[in-house]
Structure 1
Amino acid sequence: MDQEKMMEQVFTEGEQELYDRHFSLRGFGEEAQGKLKKGKVLVVGAGGLGSPLLLYLAAAGVGQIGIIDFDKVDASNLHRQVIFDEKQVGMPKVQAAKNRLQGINPFIEIETYEERLTTGNAMEIIRQYEVVADGSDNFPTRYLVNDACVLAGKPNVYGSIFQFEGQVSVFNYKDQDGKWGPNYRDLYPSPPPAGLVPNCAETGVLGVLPGIIGSMQALEVIKVLTGIGTVMGGKMWLFDALAFESRVYKIKRKPDNPLNGNHPSISELIDYEAFCGLKQESGVKCISVEGLQDLKNANEDFLLVDVREVHEFRRKNMGGKLMPLSELDEFQAQIPKHKKVIIHCETGVRSEVAINHLEKQYGFTNLYNLEGGIKAYLSKFTAS
């Protein structure tokens, strides 16, 4: 049977046209394309990193793509999450992404999970795929993805971004000699203190950067699936967009890794929010969004303080007094001690940090943290 006949059996006429440039690529061709067609990839997060990941994996012809994300498309996403457009604002991200990908490549299968990846569902979902690409933006999810991949024996194509810098690696990669490479815990044995590392909403991110990093992740996924080139296992690629400089560091497995070191202590998934310090008892007094609304309805005298940054406040606010966390010491004299003061941020993490600081440094006893922050409040009530 000649080569043309063999290809017709594997690929439809439409696929042959779509993947024509891959078929003509020496060192890739129909063999690698066939591996992509059989490939199964789970993308965690359909945001800044997930957008280019999904677009290029779909266009390349990865046969089965899973997308897990619980969020909805917001107008603030559009400057970097290029898989979406203005007409999709308010839609679940997984559905909006699926619609776009089906328009790019009708020959692939797309499974969506409109939910959080949690300790309860991670193993069941991840076991269905060959490769996991982590596009998450928070430490609990990164550790969860890492641990689940190690326990399930799956490679974890990792990417992260911060302002003008990005990172890419392939964790838990099994090389041709059958040796498992390092994982996320070999690089970061423990998470930073809760609230110490700001997210993109707080510090911003150059819109093109996740496109670069996410595309690099897509490249590594394709290399893992097809076997071409050298996979970034055991290495970390760092990119500085402003200087247009990049460096590659080697990563080694550590004997004290609790997952797969000499004496492993983790054999199942744990509570990652607690592990990352997000469930610690801080002693900070709290008020629910319903409690805040009751205070407003009763016209009670209180001060509402917003500790987010100026750009966040301009985009949406609840009418509170803006006192950014980064400048809190300069504003503390304006905070009364004789009446109730409710402090909020986007989700309640930074405001807790602010209250702890004000109580320890200035002796405040009348401060309350708004549970869930402005995000929780606006999802339930209309800001006045």
Structure 2
Amino acid sequence: MKDLLNEQEKERYRANFTYFEYYTDIYKSSYDMQKKIKDSHVLILGLGGAIQDVATLASLGVGKITGLDFDTVEYSNLNRQYIYKEGDVGKLKTEAAKQRIKEINSDIELNIINKKITSSEDILPLLSNVDLVISGIDSPGIISSRWVNFACVTKNVPVIFSGINGNKILINKRSGEGCFDCFLMYCSTNDPIFKYQLNTLYGYTFEKKNTAIAPTVSILSGFITAEVMKHLLNLEYQMRAGYMYQFDVNELTMNSDYHWEKSSQCPTCGKNPSKELCDITTLMKIVEGHSNDT
């Protein structure tokens, strides 16, 4: 099966082949697995901290990567977005990212788009033949994740959401189970304080309020890209959908105690899904109505 890859690829991915031998059987070889990765397409929304994900997936050999951003490189990015260099400051992140990633792996198909996401409609056209989405956008607060969630649910594309809050790393994978709107509904039902937080943060533009540093971004990127690999290869021990995983950098512990089910009342993925993303007021009214019924 070695003819699935050319000679340069066989040399480049020698360590990959050795690692994949842990997962091989009579039906698939390590070369089959590398070819599967080569034939995959991952979409990454946001090229800030997620630029590390792009670099890692390019090194892994993901055959097609689409990345999207609209911002420029700033000095304040360099404490954690270390793919960018001092000479990139002032450049579009898309321009700098394309140059850097091509230096890592010139064999992959790299599609870098300079665009600002303002709605789910901006995302839907990007999801054709995409195997998985990594959402690296968090502003404007909450609504940006709802845009991504709605588009991915509509097109039935798995998505990984993540974030950093001080010494805590949060990561969630949505793949056929409760979606991000289900999460908001669950939290609003079970935590009275959450509604206040939701109203405060919804649509908020985060500027100069970032607790991410290089070590935590590196750890998060490792978690995300390892999960992408497991998903693309359909390996065991993938993250369970509908769970929020939290890694404590101080304690070096991971827990997944936070869990929500798919809601039949969810306007995005429930029994009667809406053709358009509903506003947050409508979503909260559904929560209140469901709570009154129960």
1:142 aligns with 2:152: no
Q: Which residue of 2 is the match for residue 56 of structure 1?
A: 56
Q: Which residue of 2 is the match for residue 131 of structure 1?
A: 132
- Taking structure 1 as the reference length, the TM-score comes to 0.63
Specify the code of the residue in structure 1 equivalent to 2:260: I
Matched-pair identity in %:
27
Contact 1:134 1:145 in 2 (8 A): yes
With 119-128 and 189-198 compared, the bigger mean Cα shift is at 189-198
- What's the offset of the Cα at 1:203? 5.2
Q: Which residue of 1 is the match for residue 271 of structure 2?
A: 262
The equivalent position to 1:182 in structure 2, one of 163, 178, 182, is 178
Change in CA separation of 1:169 and 1:68 when aligned onto 2, cut-off 3 Å: same
- What's the offset of the Cα at 1:117? 2.1
Cα deviation code 1:52-84 (max 9, x no counterpart): 211111100000000010101101001111221
Contact 1:165 1:238 in 2 (8 A): yes
- What's the offset of the Cα at 1:121? 2.1
1:157 aligns with 2:160: yes
The equivalent position to 1:193 in structure 2, one of 199, 206, 211, is 199
- 1:153-302 to structure 2, matched below 5 A, reads 153-171=156-174, 173=175, 180-189=176-185, 192-195=198-201, 199=206, 201-202=208-209, 204-234=211-241, 235-249=243-257, 250-264=259-273, 266-269=274-277
Provide the rounded CA distance (Å) in 2 between the counterparts of 1:78 and 1:16.
34
Q: Which residue of 1 is the match for residue 2 of structure 2?
A: 7
Specify the code of the residue in structure 2 equivalent to 1:192: L
- What's the offset of the Cα at 1:170? 1.1
Provide the rounded CA distance (Å) in 1 between the counterparts of 2:277 and 2:268.
10
Provide the rounded CA distance (Å) in 2 between the counterparts of 1:75 and 1:201.
12
Provide the rounded CA distance (Å) in 1 between the counterparts of 2:276 and 2:227.
27
- What's the offset of the Cα at 1:161? 1.2
- Taking structure 2 as the reference length, the TM-score comes to 0.81
Provide the rounded CA distance (Å) in 2 between the counterparts of 1:123 and 1:67.
14
Contact 1:39 1:62 in 2 (8 A): yes
Contact 2:267 2:278 in 1 (8 A): no
Provide the rounded CA distance (Å) in 2 between the counterparts of 1:209 and 1:199.
19
Contact 1:164 1:206 in 2 (8 A): no
Provide the rounded CA distance (Å) in 1 between the counterparts of 2:184 and 2:170.
13
Change in CA separation of 1:201 and 1:207 when aligned onto 2, cut-off 3 Å: farther
- What's the offset of the Cα at 1:275? 8.7
For these two proteins, the number of residue pairs brought into alignment is: 260
Greater per-residue helix proportion: 2
- What's the offset of the Cα at 1:155? 0.2
- What's the offset of the Cα at 1:198? 8.4
- What's the offset of the Cα at 1:243? 2.8
DSSP-derived class of the 2:238 partner? coil
- What's the offset of the Cα at 1:169? 1.7
Higher relative contact order (CA 8 A, sep 6+): 2
Q: Which runs of 5+ in 2 are unaligned?
A: 25-29, 189-196, 284-294
Change in CA separation of 1:262 and 1:237 when aligned onto 2, cut-off 3 Å: same
Larger Rg: 1
Contact 1:163 1:206 in 2 (8 A): no
Provide the rounded CA distance (Å) in 2 between the counterparts of 1:269 and 1:41.
24
DSSP-derived class of the 1:202 partner? coil
Cα deviation code 1:340-375 (max 9, x no counterpart): xxxxxxxxxxxxxxxxxxxxxxxxxxxxxxxxxxxx
Provide the rounded CA distance (Å) in 1 between the counterparts of 2:212 and 2:112.
27
Specify the code of the residue in structure 2 equivalent to 1:254: S
- 1:20-59 to structure 2, matched below 5 A, reads 20-25=14-19, 26=21, 27=23, 29-48=30-49, 50-59=50-59
- What's the offset of the Cα at 1:137? 2.1
Contact 1:36 1:226 in 2 (8 A): yes
Contact 1:51 1:211 in 2 (8 A): no
Contact 2:40 2:62 in 1 (8 A): yes
DSSP-derived class of the 1:111 partner? strand
Provide the rounded CA distance (Å) in 2 between the counterparts of 1:38 and 1:271.
37
- What's the offset of the Cα at 1:108? 0.3
- What's the offset of the Cα at 1:230? 2.4
Q: Which runs of 5+ in 1 are unaligned?
A: 1-5, 174-179, 277-384
